[in-house]
């Protein structure tokens, strides 16, 4: 039996590489010294396509008994809910509340067993992001709804 995971990941890399190549075909390429807007997408699409071909080849050569399992979509759904809750709350409730909602939904399965870990993650990520975006990048984000 072939290594289906390697083959499918290779097909994904190859598809993204070919799509990037098609989408960037109208951009001017330029040279290595004077790169045009299409230089980086072209190099990236070649690298992704080559990686995809190598992964497909590896999957065809290697034999594996591992079957692809049905994906668990609950973690993906929770991260998406967290992302959208952040987007909806950041202007209305402020950065700290929005980031709390993001981390709460994203870490929902871990909250009961690892409450302190999730709280420390919230404090560290929110503090780092607030310092980075507000103080270093100068973005105007309200900390709370009254700010």
Q: How many CB atoms lie within 10 A of CB 95?
A: 22
Check residue 98 and give its pLDDT. 93
Predicted structure pTM score = 0.57
- The 10s digit of each residue's pLDDT in 75-98 is 999 999 999 999 999 989 999 999
């Amino acid at each position: 039996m072939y290594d289906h995971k390697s083959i499918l990941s290779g097909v994904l890399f190859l598809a993204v590489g070919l799509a990037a190549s098609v989408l960037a075909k109208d951009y001017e390429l330029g040279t290595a010294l004077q790169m045009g807007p299409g230089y980086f997408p072209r190099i990236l699409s070649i690298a992704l396509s080559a990686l995809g071909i190598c992964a497909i080849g590896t999957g065809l050569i290697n034999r594996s008994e591992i079957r692809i399992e049905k994906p668990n979509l609950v973690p993906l759904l929770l991260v998406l809910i967290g992302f959208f809750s952040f987007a909806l709350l950041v202007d209305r409730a402020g950065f700290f509340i929005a980031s709390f909602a993001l981390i709460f939904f994203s870490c929902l399965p871990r909250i009961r067993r690892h409450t302190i870990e999730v709280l420390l993650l919230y404090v560290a990520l929110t503090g780092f992001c607030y310092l980075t975006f507000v103080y270093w990048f100068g973005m105007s984000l309200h900390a709370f709804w009254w700010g």
